Amino acid sequence: MQPTLSRAVVFLIFSAAAYFPLADAAFPGEVQTFREAPAFRNGRECPPRETSSIIHIAMTLDATYLRGSTAGVFSVLQHASCPENIAFHFVTTTHRRRQELRRIIISTFPYLNFHIYHFDSNLVRGKISYSIRRALDQPLNYARMYLADLVPATAQRIIYFDSDLIVVDDVAKLWSIDLGNHVLGAPEYCHANFTTYFTHRFWSNPSYSASFKGREACYFNTGVMVIDLWKWREGKYTEKLENWMRIQKRSRIYELGSLPPFLLVFAGDVERVEHRWNQHGLGGDNVEGLCRDLHPGPVSLLHWSGKGKPWLRIDSKKPCPLDSLWAPYDLFRHSSPSLFNDS
Ligand SMILES: *[C@@H]1O[C@H](CO)[C@@H](O)[C@H](O)[C@H]1NC(C)=O
């Protein structure tokens, strides 16, 4: 091998590492860059931006779902009556990539009011038991259980959004729901067969199944939740969720990831939010990314929960009909840096 060639190879390897800090399995060897979103300004009827008028929204950020997260943020801003009164609270697991993610958010949304928090994945690593879908086993999937520890106490309430959804209505309407005595608000689905979310082992053990006694437990999706953080801290709900995760580690009482602990702690004790705020299942189920239709009724939020993600289906030229509703919020810029043409 000629010395010049080997130097070129070494250069390529190093420059590739520098170029692709956020390259991932979905886009191997491709830089994730995004178009800059327009500036969204408050209407004249908006209250001044002070603590009491801020809408707090929490989302996770990682390389795999970054395209979904940016689309989600874009959709929230586009439909908000007072977009400048929204504060985003992003949670990440990696120290190394936090600066890179911050840079991407700033360049995509230069006017965004946001914070990035580091979620120590060691908090949950020992408590996660494998589920039927590997993507559900990522520590970041469990970050929603720790929002009360991550977000400053100045925020009494927070909306948690998954990174595979778009909002097509004013998020202020969801924000202003009355939680009553509840810690958590979410759309409930009482027609779903609740039994199937837990194993036979769970239902056959009276000390476990008794936890639903006196509760009209219904399935709810944890991808959209309105949470009273003050009540959450007071009631030590993170510990309650962790306790069920410890039981799961020992006894395998369910097959999914972070959802069942939420059902165990909150199902039947959830403030009912209109179904329009979580039209979920658009990604099919946990096994196959099948095309799904909307549930009947109005739509304020579309959620591609399940295995199929719109950006992957669009890129593979096999989109589902409803993926066309996600596409307008896609800020992702496909670009293949031409390392070989640069010199
Ligand atoms: C719910 O699911 C369980 C377990 O799969 C099944 O035995 C039961 O018949 C189902 N109930 C209804 C109402 O479909």
- Position 107 in a domain: yes
Q: 4 or 84, which is more confident?
A: 84
Amino acid at 30: E
According to DSSP, the residues that pair with 90 across neighbouring strands are 59, 116
Whole-angstrom distance, CA of residue 258 vs CA of residue 141: 7
Phi, psi of 58 (to 5 degrees): -105, 135
- Position 210 in a domain: yes
Average pLDDT over residues 54-82: 97
pLDDT at residue 53, as a whole number: 95
- Position 18 in a domain: no
Structure tokens at 67: 């395209």
pLDDT at residue 7, as a whole number: 38
Kindly give the distance from the C-alpha atom of residue 259 to the centroid of ligand 1, in angstroms, as a whole number: 19
| Sequence-ordered alpha helix ranges (H) in the chain | 3-19, 66-79, 98-108, 122-125, 147-150, 171-175, 200-203, 206-209, 229-234, 237-251, 259-266, 310-315, 323-326
Kindly give the distance from the C-alpha atom of residue 272 to the centroid of ligand 1, in angstroms, as a whole number: 24
By DSSP bridging, strand 219-220 and strand 332-333 are: unpaired
Average pLDDT over residues 90-113: 92
Average pLDDT over residues 40-57: 94
**341 close to ligand 1 (CB < 6 Angstrom):** no
- Position 335 in a domain: no
Q: What pTM, to 2 d.p., does this model score?
A: 0.88
Minimal-distance CA residue to ligand 1 atom 4: 196
Task: Place 16 in a pLDDT band, splitting at 50, 70 and 90.
Answer: very low
Q: What is the largest distance, in Å, between two alpha-carbon atoms of the chain?
A: 77
**195 close to ligand 1 (CB < 6 Angstrom):** yes
Q: 200 or 125, which is more confident?
A: 200
- Position 296 in a domain: no
Number of domains in the chain: 1
Minimal-distance CA residue to ligand 1 atom 5: 196
- Position 219 in a domain: yes
| Burial class, 214, CB count within 10 angstroms (exposed 0-12 / middle 13-18 / buried 19+) | exposed
pLDDT at residue 341, as a whole number: 44
According to DSSP, the residues that pair with 161 across neighbouring strands are 224
pLDDT at residue 288, as a whole number: 79
Whole-angstrom distance, CA of residue 3 vs CA of residue 151: 54
Amino acid at 26: A
Average pLDDT over residues 219-243: 98
Whole-angstrom distance, CA of residue 138 vs CA of residue 141: 5
Q: For residue range 253-298, what is the model confidence (pLDDT) as tens digits?
A: 999 989 999 999 999 999 999 999 999 999 998 887 789 999 999 9
The parent domain of residue 201 ranges over 33-276
Which CATH number goes with the domain that contains 254?
3.90.550.10
- Position 192 in a domain: yes
Minimal-distance CA residue to ligand 1 atom 11: 193
Whole-angstrom distance, CA of residue 331 vs CA of residue 67: 7
Average pLDDT, the chain: 89
Kindly give the distance from the C-alpha atom of residue 129 to the centroid of ligand 1, in angstroms, as a whole number: 25
- Position 305 in a domain: no
